[in-house]
Amino acid sequence: MKKLCYGVLTLMILVGSAYAVAAGPGPGGPGGPGPEGLLNRLLSLKLTDAQKHDVAVILKENRQAFRAASVAMFEAFDGMREIMRNDPGNEQLVRQASKKIADAGEELAVLRGKVEAKTLALLTPEQRKTWAEEDVPPPPKNKERFHVGHELVNEWIDAHAGAGN
């Protein structure tokens, strides 16, 4: 029973954190749409050869930074999982781990913003319009799954603690 409670709590925190990150800048969270999404967006712009070169140079210059920021994000989430598995009642450790997740997300968002600004500066007005039109929000199923999870937890609480409490 105790493991189930810890599992539900961990799931809620991870889903909540992932939702907060995903609700941030861009469809894939602070890092943006991900490699495949970025490539699809770039292909849809019908870049000239000169633009392709310039965008590729921008991306190449920032490749290591994105890799490092992504690793930091994965490590931050791993750190939170470890704390929630081993010492979930330690408020200080949970807050520190949450801050690491937030800091890693912030770094990814700032990096994405810088790279996107440099890329947008190379585009024609029509290409910028296409870029903006393709920046779609995350699918609603993420929000629905988050709310369904809350409802399941609330139903479990009400079933075991009484609806009036």
Among 109, 141, 115, which Cα is nearest to 41's? 115
Give residue 91's pLDDT: 96
Find the mean pLDDT for residues 132-161.
74
Burial of 78 (0-12, 13-18, 19+ CB in 10 A): exposed
Find the mean pLDDT for residues 108-127.
94
Sign of CA dihedral 81, 83, 88, 94: negative
- Calculate what percentage of the chain has a pLDDT beyond 70: 70
| Distance separating alpha carbons of residues 136 and 157, to the nearest angstrom | 36
Among 154, 8, 1, 146, which Cα is nearest to 84's? 8
Which helix (H) or strand (E) element contains residue 92?
A: helix 91-121
Domain residue spans in the chain?
2-161
The mean-pLDDT minimum among 76-80, 116-120, 153-157 falls in 153-157
Tokens for 57, please give them.
């140079």
Q: Predicted confidence band at 165 (pLDDT cuts at 50, 70, 90)?
A: low
